[in-house]
Chain A
Amino acid sequence: MIRTVAAAAVAAVLAFWALKLDDGTTAGRERAILVACGAAFGALLQRSRLCFTSAFRDFIVLRDRRAGLGVLAALAVGSIGYAVLFGAQLPDPSRYLPETAHIAPASPVVLLGGLSFGVGMVLAGGCISGNLYRLGEGSLVAPVALLACLPGYWLAFSLWNFFYVKSVSTSPPIWLPSKLGYTGALALQLAALAGVAVLLFKKGTAAPQPAREPLDLRGVLREPWPAWLGGAAIGVVATFAYLRNHPLGVTAEIGRLSRRAGLALGFLPVRLEGLDRMRGCSAIESDRWLTESGVFILSLVAGSLVSALISGEFRLRTGKPRTYALAAAGGVLLGFGAMISLGCTVGTMLSGIMAFSLHGWIFVAGLAGGAWAGTRVLRRLA
C-alpha cells in the first residue's frame, strides 16, 4: 500500500513538472514531451529488465538470448519508424543529412570508444542507462558508477583534440540512405538485424520458465515483461522522440556537466575542436542549469522508480566494497567511451543505428569486443 501511494506521488510530481515545463512556447512543450518520453523509457527498461549490457554479457556467459532479442526488436521497430519519418522529412536522401538525427563520423575512434564502453559496462554491472534505471530501483552502487563517468569524460576531453585531428575530422559521417535510398537502407539494416537474430536463436539457449499463474492486470504490473516486448515498445518511444526532434540519448547532460566542472577546475583544454558541431550526445556547452537531456534522464530515473515501486522491486541495495570499486573503474571507462563515441548504448547504438548511421554499427562492434574482454576480467575476479 505504501509503495502504491509512493508510486502515485512520484507519478504526480512528474505530471506536475511536465505541466510546469509546458509554458506555452514550443521549447516548453518539447521539454514536457521529453518528461513523458523519459518516464516511459525508464519504466520500459525496468519492467522488461532490458539492460543493454545484458544483451552482450548474458549471451557470452550463459548463451542467454533474451536481452539481445530485446535490443534487436528495439532497433528493428525504431529503424522502420525512422525510415517513415525521414521519408516525410527529406524525400531525397542523397543531398542532405536529416537535422538532429544522430549521424556522426564513422571513425576508428568510435570503435575505440565502443571497446572502452563495453569493458566498462561489464565491470560496472550496467551501461549508463542501465545504471540510471537501477538508480530508480534503489541501487546505491549506480551513483558511484555514474559519478565515476566524470573522470572518464575528463580523460577523453583532454585527448579529444588529438583524436579529432588524427581521425575524426577526416572521417565523414556515413548515412546509408544517401548511398542506398530509404528502401535499400531499411532492407539492408533489417536483414542485418535478422541475421543477428538467427545467430542468437542458433547459438543461444531458451531460458527455463518458472511456473506462473495466468496473467491478470496485477501480474502485468508485477511480473517482468518479455525483453522483446519491452524492446519493441522502446522502438516506438524512440520514433516518437525523434518525431519531436529529440533522438533518445542520455549522456549529453553528463558530458556537459563534466566539461563545465573540468573547465572550472582548469584542467581541460578550453577549445575542443569540432565538438560543438558534432551530432549525437556531444557535450555542448549551455548556461542553462538543466538541458533537454537532463530533463530526459531525470524523468527516466523517476519512471523506473514508479515502475519498481508498483512491481515491488524497489529496494535500497548497498554493495560490497569490491562492488563499489568495480563500479568506479567501470564508470571511468563508460565516461571515456561515451565521450569519444559521442554517446552510449542509447545515443550511439540505438539512435545511431535507427538513423541508419554507420557509426552506430561500428560502436556495436566495439561494444561486443569490449564486453567479451570485460567478461574475461570479471571471470578472473569472481
Chain B
Amino acid sequence: MNEVDIRGEPCGMPVLRVEKFLLEKAEGAPFAVVGDDAGTMDQLRLLASRHGWSCDVTTSGRDLRAEFRPRR
C-alpha cells in the first residue's frame, strides 16, 4: 500500500498534499497517510468523504495512520 508521510507539515499543506495524491497518483487504489496531528487527521476524514473515499484513522505508536479506500 502506498504511503504518504505528512508528519512535521504545518496545517493546510498536508490536506492539499493528500488531495493531490488522491487525485493524481492513487489511481483508485487504497493508500495510507502517516501523520502526527489529530486535527489534521480529522480534516482528512472530511477530504475523503468529499471525494467519495472512506478514511479510517488509527494510532500507530506515537503517530496516527489514516487508511484511504475508495467507496464501492
Partner-B contacts on A (CB < 8 A): 49, 51, 53-54, 57-58, 61-64, 122, 124-126, 130, 141, 205, 207-208, 210, 224, 313, 315, 317-320, 323, 326-327, 375, 378-379, 381-382
Contact = CB atoms under 8 A, between A and B. Distances in A.
Contacts of B20: 379, 382
Contacts of B57: 210
B42 A378 contact: no
Contact of B13 (A63, A210, A318, A326): A326
Given A319-B10, A323-B10, A382 B17 contact: yes
Given A64-B46, A207-B42, A319 B12 contact: no
Given A124-B10, A205-B49, A319-B9, 16 more contacts: A54-B11, A57-B11, A57-B12, A141-B8, A207-B45, A208-B46, A210-B45, A224-B38, A224-B39, A319-B8, A320-B8, A326-B13, A378-B12, A382-B16, A382-B17, A382-B20
Contacts of A378: 12-13, 16
B26 interface: no
Contacts of A49: 39
Contacts of B10: 124-126, 141, 319, 323, 326-327
Interface of B is mostly: helix
Contacts of A126: 10-11
B32 interface: no
Nearest to A223: B38
Given A63-B50, A315-B62, A319-B8, A381 B13 contact: yes
Contacts of B60: none
Contacts of A54: 11
Interface in B1-46: 7-13, 15-17, 19-20, 36-39, 42-43, 45-46
Contacts of A122: 12
Contacts of A317: 7-8, 36-37
A118 to B, nearest CB: 12
Among A49, A57, A62, A125, max chain B CB count under 10 A is at: A62
A56 B42 CA distance: 17
B46 A382 contact: no
Contacts of A124: 10
A141 B37 CA distance: 14
A16 to B, nearest CB: 31
B20 to A, nearest CB: 5
